[in-house]
Structure 1
């Protein structure tokens, strides 16, 4: 009884006794997924048919939503881009594995909203400011944030189509950097975290030139994960389902590294983030709790059965 009382005091003091967000409520944690077919997802697609296999890491959960083509929030499920990348057959992409991995590591993000925007076969020049693809991305991002949510990051995987032509490959870095700067400006988020994927494959001979451009971007809060070596489908261009799962987990790890306020209990910073009553109660409850701190709240998970 005493332990139960202390637990309730901790919840009340931390401001956590509140209704849980439901799928009908707009998510507060939003991620944009953009680029071309490997972001859209071709995992499990063979001869224009998706095998329908969804690995456990990509399964739906009530706390992961997607913004549909009609700008409505709905429970997310593979294929995430089914009504966005409509001129191809979509399969498994990295988005669901990314969201599940983020929530498994830090459930304090609450309900996560994914905004699919990727379209297969597109060049970086087709994403320039003022283009249809660019305008659609900005429109969907704005719609996603209307419910009070915050765009946490752009996940970007594109460039295979720019490996065919030498000039496209040569100009890729400057075009990509301009795209990132324009998008941040139009989203009014000058330091928006951007996590891109350095190519795992390409459609032409200039793969390394495009990869060098991707890895050479020199903007604050822009980082990359390296897709080189991930398993490809039989077409030698698209990632397999297993590779997409791995990529989603890599993107999640990279995103969490951009969040300096996620501090664990064993960190010395955790004591500075808590108030005196928190410190006293946490000292008593430490054997029974795993605590994850953010800047303005505490999320606690009971790992002890009363």
Structure 2
């Protein structure tokens, strides 16, 4: 199977949005702005089952670093997306991962109408328009919101609003959100 697959030629049915900040974007193995290239066994690619939506909205075989063209201003390494996909791949048909995470971002940058939010929804809609069904949004973010007491105090309300907005904009009122913060 070719490592680059146009989304017209192939479109995974089970789609998972990967969003948040650096831990989701993948900083495993990154030291001093350099990725060591080591991929743990649980993160190895499966060219027949796990795909990622590139920055150009084309599906390709998923391999680490998943966010290399999304969080492009920073060095990406291993994140939780591939290990998650490998853990569930035998229970579902082919998986489409939609990387959206950007390191160092605060939840206010993910608010409705902000660039990161708009891009995430655009990428999710692209995955849906090619026959994919969004199964969940995996959210790993929060460190930037622990820098002040105000951010800590408003995080819950901001996260609830984000969940409400994503579900409304994608017309998925019961979309599962898997959150780590």
Aligned residue in 2 for 1:145? 128
Q: What SS does the corresponding residue of 1:169 show, helix, strand or coil?
A: helix
Aligned residue in 1 for 2:158? 175
CA drift of 1:110 comes to: 1.3
Q: Which has the higher contact order (CA 8 A, sep 6+)?
A: 2
Asked if 1:49 is matched to 2:34, the reply is yes
Pick from 101, 114, 117: which aligns with 1:118? 101
Structure showing greater Rg? 1
Asked if 1:76 is matched to 2:62, the reply is yes
Superposed CA deviations along residues 204-244 of structure 1, whole A, max 9, x for unmatched, are xxxxxxxxxxxxxxxxxxxxxxxxxxxxxxxxxxxxxxxxx
The TM-score with structure 2 as length reference comes to 0.93
Asked if 1:99 is matched to 2:82, the reply is no
**Number of residues of Structure 1 aligned to a counterpart in Structure 2:** 173
Superposed CA deviations along residues 149-184 of structure 1, whole A, max 9, x for unmatched, are 100000000010011111111111101100100110
CA drift of 1:146 comes to: 1.1
Query: Cα RMSD between the aligned structures?
Result: 0.9
Superposed CA deviations along residues 234-258 of structure 1, whole A, max 9, x for unmatched, are xxxxxxxxxxxxxxxxxxxxxxxxx
Q: State the distance in 1 between where 2:132 and 2:29 align.
A: 32
5+ residue gaps, structure 1, are 1-22, 199-306
Give the 5 Å matches for 1:196-211: 196-198=179-181
Give the 5 Å matches for 1:1-306: 24-62=9-47, 63-104=49-90, 106=91, 109-198=92-181
Q: State the distance in 1 between where 2:46 and 2:142 align.
A: 31
Q: What SS does the corresponding residue of 1:130 show, helix, strand or coil?
A: coil
Whichever structure has more helix as a proportion of its residues is: 1
The TM-score with structure 1 as length reference comes to 0.56
CA drift of 1:143 comes to: 0.3
